Structures are given as C-alpha cells and as structure tokens.
Amino acid sequence: MKIKFKILTGFLLLIIMLLIAGAMSIYEFSRIGKSVRALIDDNYKTIEASKTMIEALEREDSGILLLISGKWKEGRQILQSADSLFLSAFDIAKNNLTEKDEDMYIEKIETSYLIFKNKWEPPIVGTSKENSVNWYFTEVHINFIKVKSEINALMTLNQDSMYLEASELKEQAHRAIMPGIVAIVSALIFLVMFNFFIGLILVRPIKKLINSVKGYYLHSQNFDAEISNHDELKELEIEIQNLISRIHQKNEK
C-alpha cells in the first residue's frame, strides 16, 4: 500500500468521524428546535390565554362591585370590555387542544362562565341587587371562584405538560452534545493511534534507511535496512541497494 494512500486513509477516517458526529448533533438540535416550537405553540399559548381569562374575570368582578354600588356606566363599560377580552382568550384556548381531556376542561370553563355571566347580565342598578352584599357573595362571588378555579386547573394541566416537555428537551440537549463529546474523544484517541502508525510506517523505516546508509559509508557495513513495508520506502531501499551494487561493479572494473 502506498504511503500517500495510508496517510490519506487516516485523514479520511478522521473526517468521516467528525462528519457523522456533526450530522448527529445537527439532527438532535433540529429536533430540539421543533420541540421548542411545539412547546410554544401548544402549552404556552394556552397558559397565556388562561392568564388573560383570569385577568378578565377579575375585571368583571370589579365591574359587578361597581354596579352594586350604583355606578351603572362605569360598571357596564368594565364588564363589556372584560367580557370581550375573556371570550377572545377563551377562543384561543378552545382552538388549541393539545393535552388529554383538555376539551373537558374547556367545557367546564364555558359552562361555569355562562352561569357566572347570567348573574351580572340582567340589570343590577335600581334593583334589589343594588347594595346587596349578601346577593354578591351568595350568587356572584361563588360562581366567580368556580370559573377561576377551573381556569387554574386548565393552566396547571398545561404547566405540568410544559414541565415534562422541558425535561425531555433537557435530555435531547444532552443527546445533542454527546456526539460532539464522543467525536472529540474519538478524534484524540485516533490522533494518538494515527501518530503511532505514522511512526511505525514512515518515521521508523526512514530512520532505518538513514542508519543503514551511515553504517555503509562510515563503517563499510552491508546496506540492509530491513524494511518490511511494501511501499515507496521499500522501493527506496531496493534502489539504494541497486545503486550500491552498481558502484561496486564500477569500482571492480
């Protein structure tokens, strides 16, 4: 085997190892990117929608208290705005069902919210409900708490799922890093082995040739480098032997 081919083979093996490791890392990082995108599209969207619903619900509660205190205009403005905000966020959550039984959570929220809304939609100012703290706590507040707890349950479902997916992302990140670490360690081991074989197939035979040449012209020893490799260095040894033979023949003549 030619020396050039031996060295080229070594470098090709190193390049192939690095390419495989790089391809595996790129694949794993691509999977991480898709998982992060799915995490945002699925759980995070519903969590943010749940927070918006709770915020809207609390504003509605404030609007109801204003109505009870006789402030009809301010109370109705807040209720209308908050109701619109709640329904908008609810539609986002309703159209983003990604977890098991999440549709059941949505149905409970929808039902409870309609009951809660039916409590404040009819007139309050100018009726027996005005200034009625007892009506607020027995009819309204209890339904407010129920809707809020069901929204929190939906948010908890998605938060737990997000935590599990984040844990999986951590594992994927480890898997993405491992090929690089393995490639680095393997490359170092390979370089040590490659250096050893370079010494074995190239440096050591060259030293043998040098010592044999020195022994020949300094001490008149027979030239024999004993090159065992069948490559250019063996050819060089043979050519040096032929050259020495021709010199002897010329001197004898």
- How do residues 53-89 score in pLDDT, each as one tens digit? 999 999 999 999 999 988 989 999 999 999 999 999 9
| The pLDDT value given to residue 152 | 94
Structure-token pair, residue 121: 């939609």
Arithmetic mean of pLDDT, 28-38? 63
Q: Which residue has the higher pLDDT, 93 or 164?
A: 93
Gap between the Cα atoms of 165 and 114, Å rounded: 33
| The pLDDT value given to residue 1 | 55
- How do residues 206-215 score in pLDDT, each as one tens digit? 777 777 777 7
Compute how many other C-beta atoms are within 10 angstroms of the C-beta atom of residue 58. Answer: 13
pLDDT band at 13 (very low <50, low <70, confident <90, very high): confident
pLDDT band at 32 (very low <50, low <70, confident <90, very high): low
Question: Number of helices and strands (H, E) in the chain?
Answer: 8, 0
- How do residues 120-164 score in pLDDT, each as one tens digit? 888 888 888 888 888 899 989 999 999 999 999 999 988 887 777
Gap between the Cα atoms of 117 and 110, Å rounded: 10
Phi, then psi, of 167 in degrees rounded to 5: -65, -40
| The pLDDT value given to residue 36 | 60
First to last CA, the chain: 39
Global pTM? 0.59
Gap between the Cα atoms of 231 and 227, Å rounded: 9
- How do residues 205-239 score in pLDDT, each as one tens digit? 777 777 777 776 766 667 666 767 766 777 776 77
Phi, then psi, of 100 in degrees rounded to 5: -65, 135
Gap between the Cα atoms of 217 and 211, Å rounded: 10
* C-alpha dihedral, 51 to 53 to 56 to 57, nearest 10°: -110
Gap between the Cα atoms of 97 and 88, Å rounded: 15
Which among 3, 93, 5 has a CA at the least distance from the CA of 44? 93
pLDDT band at 112 (very low <50, low <70, confident <90, very high): very high
